[in-house]
Amino acid sequence: MTMKKVFLFMTAATLPCSTLLAENIETDSLNALNLREVEVISVRANTKTPVAYSNMDREEIETFNSGKDIPFLLTLTPSVIATSEAGTGIGYTGFRIRGTDANRINITSNGIPLNDPESHGVFWVNMPDFASSLQDLQIQRGVGTSTNGAGAFGASINMKTENVPLESCGELNGSYGSFNTAKATFKLGTGLLNKHWAFNARLSSISSDGFIDRAQVDLQSYFAQGAYFNDNTLLKLITFGGKEKTYHAWDGVPSDSLPVNRTYNPSGNMGSDANGAPLYYENQTDNYRQTHYQLSLLRRLNPGLNLNLALHYTQGFGYYEEYKKRARLMEYGLHPDGNPSERSDLVRQKYLDNDFYGGIFSLDYTENKWTVSLGGGANQYDGNHFGKVIWIKNYADDTDLRPHQEYYRGTGKKADANVYLKANYQLSRPVSLYGDLQYRAIDYQIAGRNDEWDSANKEMQRLKFHETFQFLNPKAGVFYQIDGNNTLYGSFSVAHREPNRNNYTDSNANEIPKPEQLSDYELGYTFNNRTFTAGVNVYYMQYTNQLVLNGRVNDIGEPLTSNVPDSYRAGVELQLGARIAEGLKWNGNLTLSRNKIKDYSEYVNCIGEDGSERQEAEYLGTVPISFSPEIIANSLFSWDHRSFSAGLQSSYAGKQYLDNSGSEERKIDPYFVNNLRLGYRFRLKGIKSLQLNLLINNLFDAQYENNGYVYYSWYEGSGDNRKRNNDLRYFPQAGINAMVHLILKY
C-alpha cells in the first residue's frame, strides 16, 4: 500500500472534522501519523487470523450511539445479548456472548486491561458515553488471540480510542426522549499545532428517570488526549473518567408483580406511612467515580518493525447506600445492651477504594511471509472493601452504638503478568499458518473481614486466601484463501481463568475453588463479493472445572459456586449481507447452539413441617447452562438516499433458564424486539453537517425481560403435599419509546 493510500485511509477515519490536506503536513509528521493504524495491532485479529471476529468502525458506532451503553452497540454482532437493569440501556447494563457472562470476557482499551481484577467484570456505568470517544472496536468470539489482562474465556473486546484530529474541529451532540432521558456531548479538537502537537477533548452528561420506578441515573464523563508527533514516533497521553449516581434497580421485579406492575422496584422500601402508602428511601443509590490514565509511546524502528510501550493507572472510589429493614444489629458490630437478637432498621454504606496500574508492551514485525508480535504486560491491583452503618432507627442518639464505625474491612491484592508470542507465516500463496503462545502468572491475596456475618463464629466472616497460578495458553490455526471471494479457516485454542473474589469469599473453608480451563475449536468459511457476503463459523467450547451455581450454600448461608468437571458450548454462527438496491442494504446473523453441563446435581432448600431447613441434592444428569439461549438472531435493513437515511434493527433471543436445572418454571421467555432509526442530514453554509435522527425503540411495544435471577427456591411440605416454591426476579425492558438525536459538526 502506498503512502498516499495509507494517508487517505487514515484521514477518512479521523474525528468528524474537515478533511486534512496532505500538503499541510510535514513528511516526518506523516510517518508518525501512519503509526496510528498499528497502535493495537498486536492484540487484534486481521483478515488472515483464523478466529471468529467482528469489527465496528467509527461510522457504525456513531450511527447507533444515542446514549445507550456499549453493550447495546454490540447487539448487531453475532451471539450477543445485552441487558439493562433500568430497562432503557442506560445505567447498569451488561452483555453475554455465546452465553458467556461478562466477567469471563476480556476487555481492553488501546490494548490496556479494563476488567476489574477481582470481579473480572467491566462496569459500563463508570464509563458513560465512552462510545463517543472510540475510533473502532473488535469483538473476538471464543478464546481469540492472546491479549492483556483477564483471561479471554469465551470472548474478548478490544476498543481503540479515537485518533487525534489533525485540523481544528468541534461537535455538539444532544439527545432527548422518553423517561426524561437526555444526553449532551461537547467535543473540541485543536488540530495540528507547530507541526508536532495535537489535542482534543470531550465532555458528556447523561440522565434518565429509567423505565423501572426510581431507576434514575445521573452520569458525567470526560475524555482528553494530547499527542506529540515526530519522525517515526507517536507519543500520546490519554485520560478519561466517569462519575455516576444511580438509584438501585438491581433487585429486579418480583415475578408476581410483572402482570400488574412491570415497573415496580422494591429497592429502598421503608414500609408504609399512616395512610398505607409505600415509603422509599430517597438515597438508595450507587455512587462511584473512576479515572483512567494512559501514556503510550509508539516507535517505528524500521519499515517492518514497530515498538509499542504503554503505562496505565486507574483509580476508583465509591460506595452504595441502602436502607435495611429489621436488621440484626449484632451482624453490624453493634451490641445494644448486650442483646444479640436486637433488630432495627438502619442505613449502611459499602465502599470500594482501589488502584490498578501497570504497563504493557509489544514488538510487531512484518517482513515478507512473516507477521510476528511479541508482547505482554504486568499489572498490580490494590483494593479496599469496607462498610459503615450511618443511621439506626430508634438509636440515632445512642453514642454507645457509634453508628459511623466500620463493621467490616477487607483487602484484595493481585499481581498479574503475561507474555505472548504470536506469528502468522504465509506458507504458500493461498495458505497461512498461525501460532500463538501465552504465559500468564497471577498472585492473588485476600485478607481481613468480609461483609457477611458468620453465625457459627459470631463475627464477620474472616478472609485469608493466598493463591498463585501459572497458565500456559497455546493457540494454533490455518487460513486458506480459496480464491478472491472464498476463504476457509480452522483453529484450536486453550484458555484458563482464575476464580474471582466472590468465588473465594462464597466458598466453604474446606472447598477452595479451582481454576477453569477452556478448549476452543473453531472452523469457519466466508464468501464475499460486491453484492453479497456470507459466513459460517462452527465452534465447540469444552470446559473443565467451570464454576457454576448449583443451589448449594456455604458455611454462612451464601450461594456457593462449585466447579463442574464437564460442560460445553457448541454452535454455528451464520452471517449474511446483501446490497438489495441502490442505497438499500441488509445484514443479518443467526446463532444456533447447545450449551450443556454433564452429570449435574442441583441442591434445593427443603423446609419441613416443623419449620426445620435442610439442603437436598437431586441428580439431573445433562442440563442446559443458564442464560444461554439456543437461538440468537439479528437483522438490519438500512437505506441511504441523498440526505435521508433509515434503519430497521430486529433482534430475537430464545428461551433462557435462570438456573442450571433446565426447569420451565424458572426461565426467561423468548423475545423479539425491533428498533427504527430515521435520519436527515441538513446542508448548511458555514458548518460541516447537521444531522437529525429519530429513534423509536421497541417499535411494536413488545413486553419482555432480558435478564433475571432466582432469589430463592425451596421445597415445602412432604409426601404428596410437597411443593416447589420460587421467588424469581426479572428485569423488564421499556415498551415503545422514542428519542430525538441532534449532531452538529463544525
At 175, phi and psi to the nearest 5?
Answer: -140, 150
Q: What is the distance between the alpha carbons of residues 224 and 190, in angstroms, rounded to a whole number?
A: 12
Around Cβ 45, how many Cβ atoms within 10 Å? 21
Instruction: Kindly report the backbone phi and psi dihedral angles of residue 183, in degrees, each rounded to the nearest multiple of 5, phi listed first.
Output: -135, 135
C-alpha 290/C-alpha 115 separation (Å) is 13
232 vs 644, higher pLDDT? 644
401 pLDDT more than 80:
no
How high is the mean pLDDT of the chain?
A: 91
d(CA 537, CA 517): 22
Which range has the worst mean pLDDT, 272-286, 468-482, 551-565, 719-733? 551-565
pLDDT band at 26 (very low <50, low <70, confident <90, very high): low
Q: What's the pLDDT tens digit per position in 698-715?
A: 999 999 999 999 999 999
End-to-end Cα spacing for the chain: 31
Q: Which residue has the higher pLDDT, 533 or 456?
A: 533
Residue range 270-293: average pLDDT?
A: 95
Strand, coil or helix: 650: strand
Is 321 within 8 Å of 348 (Cβ atoms)?
A: yes
Of the candidates 625, 552, 513, 706, the one whose C-alpha atom is nearest the C-alpha of residue 154 is 625
Q: At 16, is the pLDDT very low, low, confident or very high (cuts 50, 70, 90)?
A: very low
Amino acid found at 34: N
User: In terms of C-beta density within 10 A (0-12 exposed, 13-18 middle, 19 or more buried), how is residue 607 classed?
Assistant: middle
Residue 3: what pLDDT? 32
Predicted local confidence at residue 32, as pLDDT: 53
pLDDT level of residue 215 (50, 70, 90 thresholds): very high
737/675 Cα distance (integer angstroms): 10
pLDDT of 535: 97
Pick 6 or 470 by higher pLDDT: 470
Between 18 and 301, whose confidence is greater? Answer: 301
DSSP letters along 299-336, please? EEEETTEEEEEEEEEEEEEEEEEEEEEEEEGGGGT--G
Using DSSP bridges, classify how beta strands 613-624 and 168-177 pair: parallel, antiparallel or unpaired. Answer: unpaired
Residue 402 in grid coordinates: 457509634
**Cβ atoms of 215 and 233 closer than 8 Å:** no
Q: Give the residue from 227, 69, 240 showing the smallest Cα distance to 163.
A: 227
Task: Dig out the grid coordinates for 632 from the structure.
Answer: 440468537
Report d(CA 463, CA 449) in Å as an integer. 6
For residue 194 the three cell numbers come to 507547530
Q: Is 712 exposed, middle or buried (0-12, 13-18, 19+ CB in 10 A)?
A: exposed
Prediction pTM value:
0.93
pLDDT at 402: 66
Closest by CA position to 90, among listed 194, 181, 225, 186: 181
Is 11's pLDDT higher than 60? no
Spatial distance between the Cα atoms of 716 and 730, rounded to a whole number of angstroms: 23
Compute the chain's Rg from CA coordinates. Answer: 27
CA 652 to chain centre: 20
Which residues have C-beta within 8 Å of that of residue 402, sequence separation ≥ 6? 334
**Taking the CA of residue 394 as centre, how many other CA atoms within 13 Å lie in the half-sphere pointing to its CB?**
9
168 contact partners, CB below 8 Å, separation of at least 6: 17, 189, 190, 191
Half-sphere exposure of 710 (CA within 13 A, CB side): 27
Which pLDDT tens digit goes with each residue over 616-673?
Answer: 899 999 999 999 999 999 999 999 999 999 999 999 999 999 999 999 999 999 999 9
Q: Which cell goes with 162?
A: 479515537
Instruction: Look at residues 116, 120, 112, 109 and name the one whose alpha carbon lies nearest to residue 70.
Output: 109
Lowest pLDDT segment from 101-115, 497-511, 544-558: 544-558
For residue 397 the three cell numbers come to 442518639
In contact, 497 and 516? CB cutoff 8 Å: yes
Topology of domain 3-745, per CATH? Maltoporin; Chain A (2.40.170)
237: pLDDT strictly greater than 50: yes
- Residue 455: per-residue pLDDT: 84
pLDDT digits (tens, 9 = 90+) for 299-312: 999 989 999 999 99
Give the pLDDT of residue 384. 97
- Give the tens place of pLDDT for each residue, 131-150: 999 999 999 999 999 999 98
Provide the 10 A C-beta neighbour count for residue 12.
11
Helix (H) or strand (E) holding 458: none
The domain ranges of the chain are: 3-745
Check if the beta carbon of residue 706 is closer than 8 Å to that of residue 733: yes
Residue 589 has pLDDT above 50, yes or no: yes
CA 281, CA 321: separation in Å to the nearest integer?
Answer: 10
Please return the burial class of 309, using the count of CB atoms within 10 Å of its CB with bins 0-12, 13-18 and 19+: middle
Query: Given a cut of 80, is residue 18 above it in pLDDT?
Result: no
Q: Would the pLDDT of 492 be above 80?
A: yes
Residues 522, 536 contacting (CB under 8 angstroms): no
The predicted structure's pLDDT at residue 558: 66
CB distance 291 to 317 below 8 Å: no
Grid cell listed for 467: 493463591
Residue in 631, 629, 626, 632 with CA at minimum distance from that of residue 657 = 626
Q: Which three cell numbers stand for residue 431?
A: 495458505
Which single residue is written with the C-alpha cell 504497563?
A: 359
What percent of the chain is predicted at pLDDT more than 70?
A: 92
pLDDT of residue 416: 97
Cβ–Cβ < 8 Å for 188, 170: yes
Q: Give the residue-averaged pLDDT of 264-274.
A: 93
pLDDT digits (tens, 9 = 90+) for 86-130: 999 999 999 999 999 999 999 999 999 999 999 999 999 999 999
CA distances from 558 to 151, 396, 404, 461, 554 (A): 26, 30, 26, 11, 5
At 10 the pLDDT is: 28
Structure confidence at residue 598 as a pLDDT band (50, 70, 90): very high
pLDDT value at residue 557: 61
pLDDT of residue 27: 47
